[in-house]
Amino acid sequence: MNDGMTGGGAEGGVGALGAGGGLGAGQAVEWPGVLSREEVAGLLRMSDWRSWGSLAVNWGLVFGSFALVAAWPNPLTVLAALFVIGARQLGMAVLMHEASHRSLLRKRRWNDLVGQWLCAYPIWSDTILYRPYHLKHHAHTGGPEDPDLVLTTPFPITRASLWRKIARDLSGRTGLKFARAAWQRSFGNWRNAGARRNAIGFAATNALLLGGLVWLGHGWLYLLWAGAWFTTNTLVTRIRAIAEHALTPNANDPLRNTRTTLARPWERLLICPNRVNYHLEHHLLMTVPHYRLPAMHRLLRQRGALHNGCIETGGYLAILRRAASQPAAA
């Protein structure tokens, strides 16, 4: 498992979501008191078949993209495939993130195995190494000890600066930097058992993917997987980081140091897979499985707990406009 001020009221220019639902119509309440013990238990209830379904959708879209390009190889299908695969690689990172919270599958052994072999290793990551890093982010969100702070503190920036970042992502320059770091973390530190595990897992899963495509007679399609990792995946990962924590109103308020973005269907396909847009709710109860976050959002909204929360109703483009709102130097 990283725009101008957003949140309820005038601060941030985003309308409060409380309007129109129970206590949400004009008044705020403290969020911990609005959910009963039974409701919390229901939100925390894990459903293995739903997690397997999310995994199937992620990998299905990847192989569907391969099939699209194999059937109609042209620049348009290649471009579409790169964006879909890049988003699904982020989707695998999201499910790895869920496994790091041990909320992907009920049996811990299977949670970690699936989190590693079907989510983390194929995208050159590691659930076990990620877990302590990410829990530190939860413990210090928005504070000086937050390890993700570097991803969100530069904003706002100028529009030109944002376009340069996007160009670096889509040209592969950002991905190359990530690849160097991943190589050093795994192959460059062979004496470390965790590094060897990560290197072997990455090599084995990617060799299996390449071998399967070769067996199907389309080995060249692996370039779409690698190309997306270097380009579109870095772009959507950047957008995700900006949306979740950049320019949030109050680092000390759990309702205002993390942002939920209400996403349109095309954004769920290409930017925020597996309900990762409900990031505020995730920080409030971090072991709620991803498929129950929309229900948690609805409950909190209906009862007024999100009246002053950091909620973006305008989608990811609205966040990017505020992220690039710094005036250019004269």
Decide if 7 is inside a domain: no
Decide if 8 is inside a domain: no
Cβ–Cβ under 8 Å, residues 248 and 149: no
Decide if 5 is inside a domain: no
Residue 113 domain boundaries: 22-323
Q: What is the pLDDT of residues 285-303, one digit of tens each?
A: 999 999 999 999 999 999 9
Peptide linkage before 144 cis (omega within 30 of 0): no
- Work out how many domains the chain is built from and give that number: 1
Decide if 272 is inside a domain: yes
Decide if 132 is inside a domain: yes
141-163: average pLDDT: 87
C-alpha to C-alpha distance for 224 and 208, rounded to whole angstroms: 15
pTM of structure:
0.89
Decide if 3 is inside a domain: no
Q: Which residue has the tokens 């919270």?
A: 101
Decide if 138 is inside a domain: yes
One-letter amino acid at 321 equals: R
Decide if 329 is inside a domain: no
Q: What is the pLDDT of residues 251-296, one digit of tens each?
A: 888 899 999 999 999 999 999 999 999 999 999 999 999 999 999 9
